[in-house]
Chains A and B, each alone.
Chain A
Amino acid sequence: MSVAPPHSSLLGKQSGNVARRKAQNVVMLSLCMLAAGLAILVLGLVLFFLLSKGFSSLHLSLFTRPPDNIDIKKGGMIQSIFGTLVLLGIASCLGLPLGILGGIYQLEAKGKFASTVRFFTDVLNGIPSIVIGIFAYAAIVYPVAQAHPGTGFSAYAGGFALGILMVPTVMRTTEEILRLVPFALREASLGLGATRWRTMWSVVLPAARGGVITGIMLALARIAGETAPLLFTILGSEYFSTHAVLGGHAHVPTLNAPIDALPLRIYNYSQDVNPDRQAQAWAGAVVLISLILVLSIAARFATRGNMQEEK
C-alpha cells in the first residue's frame, strides 16, 4: 500500500522558499518599473527643457517668414520647415518602394541571394549616417558640381542620402510585419488561383497595412532629425529660393540648389552668439520634436486601426 506524500496546507504558513521567491518577484518587478519610469522621466525632462526655452520664441512668423538679419525676432524659418518636408518627400520616393519591395522579397525569397541581401541590409543599417552623407556627396554632389560649376548641393542629394537611410528600417519592419500575416490567408488566395504577387498585393499587404504604415512613420521620424548627412548634401540656406516657371506666370521653390532643413538650422543658430538666434534654435527644436511626435502618434493610430480589424 502506498503512502500519500504529506502535502502542505494552502492556507498554512509559507515555507522559506516561497517567501524568497515572492520577495525576488517583487524586487525584479520594481526594478523593471523603475527603468521604465526613468525612460519616461528623460523624455519628460527633454520636452520640459525644450518648451521652457523655446516656447517664448514660438511665433507664427516662424512658420511664415524666412530669417530676417536686421530684425532677428521678426524672422522665421519657413525655408527650414519646408526643406525638411521636401526632404522627407524625396527620401520617401526612394526609400519606400525600395524598402517595401525589398521587404516583400526577403519574405518570399529563399536561398543564397536572399540571405546575402539580408546580410548587406543589416550592414547598411549599421553604417553611421555621416558616412551615407559622404557617399551621397561623392556620388551626386561632387560629380554634378564638376559638370556644372556652381551647382551640386540640392534637395535631391539630401533626399537621396535620407532615402538610403530609410531603406533598411523599412525593409526590416515590412518583412517582420508581413511574416505575421497567417499563412492560411495566403493559402486561401493561392487556392483560388491567385498568383503569388497578386496574393501579396491584394491580401497580405492589406492585412498588414497598419504595421507597414507604422514602420514607415517610424523610419520617417528617425530621418527627420538626421543632421550629419545634410551637411554634405544640402548645405543649408537662409533663403527660400524660388524660380519662375510657365514663362514667368508662377514661381515654384527651387530644389536644385542648396536648401535648408530644421536640424541644420537648429545647429547653426545654436552656435550663434546672438541670444535671439539661440532662442530661435530652441523654438526650431520644438517644431522638429512636434513633427516627429506627430509622425509617431500617426504610427500608433495606424496600428490601432489594424488591431481593430483583426479583432
Chain B
Amino acid sequence: MMDVTTQKPSSLQDLARSQTSTPTATKILVENVDFYYSAFHALKTINIVIPDRQVTALIGPSGCGKSTFLRTLNRMNDLIDGTKLTGKISLDGEDLYDKRVDVVDLRKRVGMVFQKPNPFPMSIYDNIAYGPRIHGLTNRKKLNEIVERTLRGSALWEEVKDKLKASAFALSGGQQQRLCIARTLAVEPEVILMDEPCSALDPNSTFRIEQLMEDLKKDYTIVIVTHNMQQAARVSQRTGFFLRGEMKEFGDTDQIFTSPKQKDTEDYVSGKFG
C-alpha cells in the first residue's frame, strides 16, 4: 500500500503525525470537510487520517454527526436531496468526490454495515451472492467459494452451513448482523464502515462481532461508529470524538481514554454527559 502522506504538503504530514503515534500507511485522508443538509451545517471542518488495516472508532453524543461523517466516506449521503460537501476526502490518494468517480466502484471498495441488520428477503446464500452477482460474477463454483469463505470470515459458517437455502429472516438478530458483514465482505472491499453495528444486539452477539473485528482488521480498514465507549476502547486503535458536528479530538484510543487533551473529551469519556 502506498503511503499517501509522504506526497502531501508538510502541514498534512504534521496532521498525520499529530494523530498517529505509530506510523502506518494512510487509507483515507479527510481534509477540511464541511457537510450540509440543505441549510443545516452538520459537519464542521473535519480533518482525519484513517490508517490502513486498523480499527478507527468514532464516538460522541447522539446527533453529533457520526453517522453523517461515516456516510460521507462511501457517498451514501448522495442519496439524500439537498446535501452538500466541501473539502476533500481521498482514498489511497484519489479524490472520492471527483466527478469521474463512479459511486458503484467506490461502494464496492468501501462497504458498509448498518445499525439494524438489514438482510434481503432472500436465502442466506443469495444474500451473500448478491454483491458478487451485481458485479457480474455468475460462475456457480466461485460463488459457492465466496459464500463459504465470507461466512467463515464472519464466524457464521458452522451455524448455517446446512441451511444456506433458508430465508435470511429465519436467523437471529446477531446472526443476521454477521450475515450482513459476510455480505459486505463478499464484494471484497478494502474499507468497512460500521454504523453502531451492535446497538440492536444482545451482549453475546456483540461479543462475537467484536471478536470478528479483531480478525477482520488484519485484512481490512475498519471505521466503526459506536455510542458504547467500552466497545470503542476494546476494539479500536484510533478514536475520534465528535461533538456538535466538530471533531473535537482524534488520537490513539489509549490516549483518548486515559489522557484526553480536551475538556469536552474528558467529560464525555468519563460519562459526565452523553
Interface positions of A (Cβ within 8 A of B):
110, 182, 184-185, 187-195, 198, 202-203, 206-207, 309-311
Contact = CB atoms under 8 A, between A and B. Distances in A.
B213 to A, nearest CB: 18
Contacts of B169: 309-311
B219 interface: no
Contacts, number: 71
Nearest to B135: A193
A97 to B, nearest CB: 23
Given A110-B81, A184-B114, A184-B116, A193 B131 contact: yes
Contacts of A198: 134
Given A192-B187, A203-B121, 9 more contacts: A185-B121, A188-B114, A188-B183, A189-B130, A191-B74, A193-B103, A193-B108, A194-B104, A194-B130
A188 B81 contact: no
Interface secondary structure of A, over-half rule: helix
A192 B109 CA distance: 9
A188 B116 CA distance: 11
Given A192-B184, A310-B169, A187 B130 contact: no
Contact of A203 (B105, B112, B120): B120
Contacts of A188: 114, 118-120, 180, 183
* Size bracket of the B interface: 20 to 34
A188 B118 CA distance: 7
B8 to A, nearest CB: 28
Contacts of A309: 121, 167, 169
Contacts of A192: 107-108, 111, 130-131, 134, 183-184, 187
A188 B112 CA distance: 8
B2 interface: no
B76 interface: yes
Nearest to A111: B81
B122 interface: yes
B79 interface: yes
A34 to B, nearest CB: 40
A202 B130 CA distance: 9
A187 B180 CA distance: 12
A190 B187 CA distance: 12
Contacts of B130: 189, 192, 194, 202-203
A187 B135 contact: no
A64 to B, nearest CB: 44
Contacts of B180: 188
Nearest to A181: B121
Most-contacted residue by chain B among A110, A182, A192 (CB, 10 A): A192
Q: Which 3 A-B pairs have the closest CB atoms?
A: A193-B108, A184-B118, A193-B107
A198 B131 CA distance: 11
B122 A206 contact: yes
